[in-house]
């Protein structure tokens, strides 16, 4: 008799802190709340929650304001981390061992899979396969959130990936003390972090944010929030932003994925040049 299938993935460093993922949680409970409301019984996965289960506990607390019956499942490859989290289980919050295969009861299809600071520790070439494995498990209107943030959650970015493919890139910043929006570049998701070079769309986007931020300097007299609102309003004239002032005032800005997706790599196959568009869709 064969034993349980081996979890798909590798153990990450597991670094985490309370409130580190609050910016993404606020987005899930805000403009993405429709996904939870439409689900018959929403299941949300905190994939690779790390050495401490605090982010999964916080996620459960915050999403209950949208759907009191939400089920949050923290999934980790490291069995020791799962054992340590078990005492915190409660109705609607559970922990189990697993990876990108998402071992959920009765083949449940999750409405949200939040994977923060997970793929950052993988190779860029591993991203399409990891996305595809999770996409295949999502509910029809589900979303994978592949994100990265700094140690205390003041700078964060994430890609929203639906079953059909990636749809948006969100940048969320603590505005106080911000020198320029591109300071977030070192926290771009793995699919983009190595693409922040001249000739790539994401580099052009960050450059334009910086330029608009500089031109909006006079608004700083009324505070960093007003300066960022003016920055985003200008950028919206040239880029397909998917949100508006209510999110911009939080230091959050979301752009359509196709505007920042990696430039397709040109490959020569059988004498013909073809496009490798694994994460460029």
What pLDDT, on a 0 to 100 scale, did the predictor assign at position 18?
86
Query: What's the whole-model pTM score?
Result: 0.91
What pLDDT, on a 0 to 100 scale, did the predictor assign at position 7?
77
Nearest to 161 by CA among 135, 182, 186, 129: 135
Residue 64, Cβ neighbours under 10 Å: how many? 15
Which pLDDT band holds residue 277 (cuts at 50, 70, 90)?
Answer: low
Does 5 map to a domain?
no
CATH of residue 133's domain is 3.40.50.150
For residue 255 the two structure tokens come to 């752009």
The four Cα atoms 91, 95, 101, 104 give a dihedral, to 10 degrees, of: -30
Split into its structural domains, the chain has a count of 1
Distances (CA, A) of 94 to 60, 178, 215: 10, 37, 48
For strand 112-116 and strand 43-47, is the pairing parallel, antiparallel, or unpaired? parallel
Does 200 map to a domain?
yes
Residue 280 has pLDDT above 60, yes or no: no
Which pLDDT band holds residue 260 (cuts at 50, 70, 90)?
Answer: very high
Domain enclosing residue 191, as ranges = 22-257
What pLDDT, on a 0 to 100 scale, did the predictor assign at position 107?
85
Does 1 map to a domain?
no
Q: Of all helices (H) and strands (E), which one includes residue 28?
A: helix 22-28
Distance CA 133, CA 240 (A): 28
Residue 212 has pLDDT above 70, yes or no: yes
Q: If you average pLDDT over residues 14-42, what whole number do you get?
A: 93
Q: How does pLDDT run across 38-56, given as a tens digit for each residue?
A: 999 999 999 999 989 999 9
Distance CA 172, CA 265 (A): 29
Does 274 map to a domain?
no
Does 193 map to a domain?
yes
Does 7 map to a domain?
no
Q: How does pLDDT run across 166-196, given as a tens digit for each residue?
A: 999 999 999 999 999 999 999 999 999 999 9
Does 265 map to a domain?
no
Q: How does pLDDT run across 63-113, given as a tens digit for each residue?
A: 999 999 999 999 999 999 999 999 999 999 999 999 999 999 888 999 999
Does 102 map to a domain?
yes
C-beta of residue 139 within 8 angstroms of C-beta of residue 167: no
Which pLDDT band holds residue 265 (cuts at 50, 70, 90)?
Answer: low
């Amino acid at each position: 008799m064969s034993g349980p299938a081996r979890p798909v993935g590798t153990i990450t460093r597991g670094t985490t802190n309370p409130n580190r993922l609050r910016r993404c949680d606020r987005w899930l409970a805000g403009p993405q709340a429709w996904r939870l409301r439409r689900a018959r019984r929403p299941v949300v996965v905190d994939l690779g929650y790390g050495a401490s289960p605090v982010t999964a506990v916080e996620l459960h607390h915050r999403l209950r304001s949208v759907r009191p019956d939400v089920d949050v499942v923290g999934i980790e490859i490291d069995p020791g981390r799962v054992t340590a989290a078990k005492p915190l289980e409660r109705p609607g919050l559970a922990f189990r061992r697993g990876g990108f295969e998402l071992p959920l009861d009765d083949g449940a299809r999750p409405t949200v899979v939040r994977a923060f600071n997970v793929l950052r520790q993988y190779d860029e070439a591993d991203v399409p396969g990891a996305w595809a494995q999770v996409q295949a498990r999502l509910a029809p209107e589900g979303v994978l959130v592949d994100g990265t943030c700094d140690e205390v959650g003041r700078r964060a970015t994430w890609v929203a990936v639906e079953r059909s493919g990636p749809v948006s890139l969100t940048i969320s910043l603590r505005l106080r003390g911000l020198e320029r929006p591109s300071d977030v570049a070192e926290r771009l998701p793995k699919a983009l972090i190595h693409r922040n070079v001249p000739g790539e769309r994401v580099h052009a986007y960050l450059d334009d944010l910086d330029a608009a931020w500089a031109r909006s300097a006079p608004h700083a007299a009324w505070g960093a929030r007003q300066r960022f609102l003016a920055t985003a309003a200008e950028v919206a004239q040239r880029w397909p932003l998917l949100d508006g002032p209510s999110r911009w005032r939080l230091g959050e800005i979301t752009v359509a994925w196709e505007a920042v997706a990696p430039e397709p790599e040109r490959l020569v196959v059988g004498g013909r040049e073809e496009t490798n568009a694994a994460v460029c869709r």
